Structures are given as structure tokens and as C-alpha cells.
Amino acid sequence: MTLPKYNKIMLPLLKLHSDQKDHSTEESYNYIYDYFKLSENEVKEMLVSGKQTIINNRVGWAKTYLTKAGLLEKTDKAYSKITKRGLDILKEEPEEIDRAYLKRFPEFRKFIKRKEKNKPDSKTDESNTPIDKLEDSYNELRENLANELLSVVKNSTPEFFENLVIDLLLKMGYGGSRRDAAEALGKVGDEGVDGVIKEDKLGLDVIYIQAKKWEGSVGRPDIQKFVGALEGQKANKGIFITTSSFPSSAFEYVSKISKKVVLIDGEALVNYMIDNDIGVTSETAYQVKKIDSDYFVE
């Protein structure tokens, strides 16, 4: 049989979770194999990259879309659970769940807004080069990864988040040795870590760090309190890292003060993680080649 597309997988996948229990990614794979009665050869059929099977890739995308629409939620790194909205949808007994169906939910519309907004009409699409299309696909994959990564970070423990911050700052060139960084950032506070880290390996200057897992927006008063802490430490530089967001007033405030304060919200955090290979790994790589004109010079 032809392997099912991801839109055909979404409804069965949601039904798997109808028992309101946590289900692992591996369970999801096996359930879809059985549901569609896939043969051993079909299950093993690989993507062109050779890094993942086609069916597992499609199950992954189906789960991502259901999660972005609020029908499933992540409960751990590799586990998910149905939401009340998901249960309500099953009560409607839909024949199929696809992208069009999920657009009824504002969270999903927001998720695909960028792609839909930038989606060219047929005339414009004809003028796009293969490289343009490749870059669009890459950007979509990266955005999906960033959203998923932020969800995992938010579900991590304060201790894990502390180590994540240390690993990221070290990879970015701060902190000297990991031992130095761990000692500097070893004070676990309320859902986060606070401390001082070297700006460079020689320790010519230090940076005061506040890194906290927040759900709501971090307001200007929180930033002012942080700046006050800098003053108490006689420090001129600081980094405030959060898993949530900052209002525009917070950025306006730090742009006007004499101290150098960098604000890193959840979106920026996960993009730094992706750029520095923290918590992510390369799935595949495609080389785009061109003619080497020098080779043909006689």
C-alpha cells in the first residue's frame, strides 16, 4: 500500500490518546504501523537523506500539528497527552483531521501564519528558484524545531535549566571553564539561577546573570530590580534570560540606562541553542553543488 500522508495520520493518532494517558513517541509509531497494517518493508522505507523512516517522519509532523492546534500537549520530552479540546474534537466524530480542519483554532492559525502569509501565488511561485524553495523549507523546519525546543525547555526542571544556561554560555565563549561557570551559576533560586560569569576566558570582566523559567511576560519592574542587583554587585553588564517574553517597555528601558543589559526571551534562547548545537542534533545535511568553472579551464 501507499504510505499514509501525515493528514491521514492525525485522527488515528488523536484516537490513540483518547484514553487520557501519556503516550510515548515510540507508542505512536507502533500504533500507526498497526492501524494502517504496514508491512515490515513499508515501516523501514527511508527518506532520501537516509536518516529517518518516511512513516516516522510523517507521524512526527502529525503530532506537531495536533500539538500546535492544542489537541495534544507534551508532558515530557518524548511523551504527549490529549487535552480537553482534543477530547471535544473526538466527540464530534470527524471523518478526517487535516490542516484546513485545524485552522479553526487560533493557536494553529498563528503557527502557520508566517508560511501562509509568505506563500506565493502560482505566478510568483514560478519565478522562485529551487534555492528559494529550499530556504523556505529550511526556515519552516527551523521554526518548528524552535517551537518544539522551547516547549521542552519550559518542561525541564530548574536544575536542568541551570545546566542548559551554563552549557549555552560556555558554547558562546563565556565563563572560562565549565567548573568556573558552574560555581558562578550554582545558586538555584525561584525557578531559575542567578550568579556571575566571566565575560572571557581570562576573566577581564564579569557579567551578572539572571536566568528564570517564567510563564507570564517579564515586566519592566523585574528588569529594574535586576538593574538594582547589578548596582549592588558594582557590575556594568548583565544578561537576563527567560523562557517567556519581554514587553517593548523593557527593551526601551534597557536602551536608555548606562549599564549594558541584554534581554534574551524564550524565542531568542532557543535560537541561540540551535545555532550553538545545545539540545539539538543534525538530522541530515544536503549539499548544493555547482559547476567548478576553474576545473574546465584548458
**Is 199 contained in some domain?**
yes
**Is 281 contained in some domain?**
no
Nine-digit cell string for 5: 500522508
Judged on CB neighbours under 10 Å (0-12, 13-18, 19+), 237 is middle
Letter for the amino acid at 178?
A: R
Same domain for 99 and 179: no
Same domain for 107 and 171: no
pLDDT 10s digit of each residue in the chain, 298 long? Answer: 689 999 999 999 999 999 999 999 999 999 999 999 999 999 999 886 677 899 998 999 999 999 999 999 988 878 999 999 999 999 999 999 999 999 999 999 988 875 555 555 444 444 466 666 777 788 888 988 998 899 899 988 888 888 898 889 888 988 777 777 666 665 544 433 467 788 877 777 888 888 888 878 888 888 998 898 888 878 889 999 999 999 988 999 999 999 999 999 999 999 999 999 999 998 777 787 877 878 888 7
**Residue with C-alpha cell 512526527?**
60
Among 89, 119, 149, the domain boundary falls at 119
In the chain, how many H helices and how many E strands? 14, 8
Among 69, 94, 119, the domain boundary falls at 119
Q: With contact defined as beta carbons under 8 Å apart, do 141 and 148 qualify?
A: no
**Is 126 contained in some domain?**
no
Same domain for 182 and 269: yes
- CB 291: neighbour CB atoms within 10 A? 7
Name the region of 238 (left: φ>0; alpha: ψ -120 to 50; beta: rest): beta
Show the domain range for 73. 6-119
Among 71, 89, 119, the domain boundary falls at 119
One DSSP character per residue, 200-249 reads STT-SSEEEEEEE--SS---HHHHHHHHHHHHHHT-SEEEEEESS---HH
Q: What's the domain count of the chain? A: 2
pTM of the predicted protein model: 0.67
**Is 142 contained in some domain?**
no
pLDDT on residue 256 = 92
